[in-house]
């Protein structure tokens, strides 16, 4: 086992979906994967491995924020040989054109965190998604008729801020939405020569303060899981049915 994941080598697939909430990892595994087995309960950060349309895939909770996701991504890459990491999360819109329930596919991720300032000795690094995952996710989202946006997100260190208008500065530079993890995921995957992508559904709007209800969050989360699985596994919507899409 690694420091924070109680799995043996080989228990975790090369492809891993990464929701922040461990209960969402459990939900995704139980609702979508065949033969899902739980490999981690350390700190309640549940992790499961199963198959999606015959492809082996894991779902690992990461917790919220850059320090927490960095712990799990470091260990998945270094200790378990994972190669394709796809965050599935929620985000807050900072553009009028980005509505509740829309999907945001993060082409790149800015940050107000110091983690890369420390790593790059004060210089700027531009973390970006793996092109092939990004292009596939956009193509599948378009094919499914999902309302989606592709562009820059802000991975913020703070959910609650002293200045309630801080997001507006980023919005002025075209940032689509705020979340809290993609920047670290992209950086760590790049260092390991692995592939990463973050897909988020819009759960709230910083522009007009609207929020999804619990039920709406759940249904848009389902669409995103299916999109993420087909993106990461290279499967198509009509290849052999998974649990969510057929008997």
DSSP string, 24-50: HHHHHHHHH-EEEEEEE-GGG--EEEE
Closest CB to ligand HPA among 84 and 203? 203
Helices (H) and strands (E) in the chain, counts: 7, 9
- Kindly state whether residue 62 participates in binding ligand HPA, applying the rule CB under 6 A: no
Other Cβ atoms closer than 10 A to 97: 9
Determine which residue in the list 26, 75, 204, 230 makes contact with ligand HPA, applying CB under 6 A: 204
Nearest approach in angstroms of CB 64 to ligand HPA is 8
How many chain residues bind ligand HPA (CB under 6 A)? 11
The 131-170 site mask, x for binding ligand HPA (CB under 6 A), equals: -------------------------x--x-----------
Collapsing DSSP to helix, strand or coil, 21 comes out as coil
The answer to whether residue 35 is catalytic is no
Contact 23, 59 (CB under 8 A): no
Helix (H) or strand (E) holding 55: strand 55-60
- Kindly state whether residue 178 participates in binding ligand HPA, applying the rule CB under 6 A: yes
- Kindly state whether residue 95 participates in binding ligand HPA, applying the rule CB under 6 A: no
Given the residues 102, 130, 204, 230, the one annotated as active site = 204
- Kindly state whether residue 86 participates in binding ligand HPA, applying the rule CB under 6 A: no
Nearest approach in angstroms of CB 206 to ligand HPA is 6
Residue of 146, 143, 148, 161 lying closest to 223 (CA atoms): 146
Ramachandran quadrant class, 121 (left: phi over 0; alpha: psi -120 to 50; beta: rest):
left
Closest CB to ligand HPA among 18 and 206? 206
Span interacting with ligand HPA, options 8-16, 38-46, 108-116, 173-181, rule CB under 6 A: 173-181
Span interacting with ligand HPA, options 4-12, 51-59, 88-96, 114-122, rule CB under 6 A: 88-96
Q: Which residues contact 156 (CB under 8 A, 6 or more apart)?
A: 111, 112, 113, 178, 179, 180
Helix (H) or strand (E) holding 84: strand 84-93
- As annotated, the active-site residues are 204
Give residues in contact with ligand HPA (CB under 6 A).
Answer: 90-92, 156, 159, 178-180, 203-204, 206
């Amino acid at each position: 086992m690694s420091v924070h994941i109680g799995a043996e080598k080989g228990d975790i697939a090369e492809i891993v979906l990464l929701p922040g909430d461990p209960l969402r990892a459990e939900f995704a595994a139980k609702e979508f994967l065949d033969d899902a087995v739980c490999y981690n309960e350390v700190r309640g950060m549940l992790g499961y491995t199963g198959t999606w349309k015959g492809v082996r895939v894991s779902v690992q909770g990461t917790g919220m924020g850059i320090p927490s996701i960095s712990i799990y991504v470091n260990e998945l890459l270094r200790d378990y040989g994972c190669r394709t990491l796809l965050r599935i999360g929620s985000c807050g819109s900072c553009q009028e054109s980005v509505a509740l329930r829309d999907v945001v596919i993060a082409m790149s991720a800015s940050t107000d965190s110091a983690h890369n300032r420390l790593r790059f000795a004060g210089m700027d690094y531009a973390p970006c998604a793996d092109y092939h995952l990004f292009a596939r996710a956009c193509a599948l989202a378009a094919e499914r008729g999902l309302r989606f946006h592709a562009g820059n997100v802000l991975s913020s260190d703070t959910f609650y801020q002293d200045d309630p208008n801080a997001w507006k500065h980023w919005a002025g530079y075209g940032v689509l939405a705020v979340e809290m993890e993609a920047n670290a995921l992209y950086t760590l995957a790049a260092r390991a020569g692995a592939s990463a992508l973050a897909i988020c559904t819009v759960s709230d709007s910083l522009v007009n303060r609207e929020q999804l209800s619990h039920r709406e969050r759940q249904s848009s989360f389902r669409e995103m899981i299916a999109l993420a699985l087909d993106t990461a596994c290279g499967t198509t919507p009509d290849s052999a049915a998974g649990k969510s899409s057929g008997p």
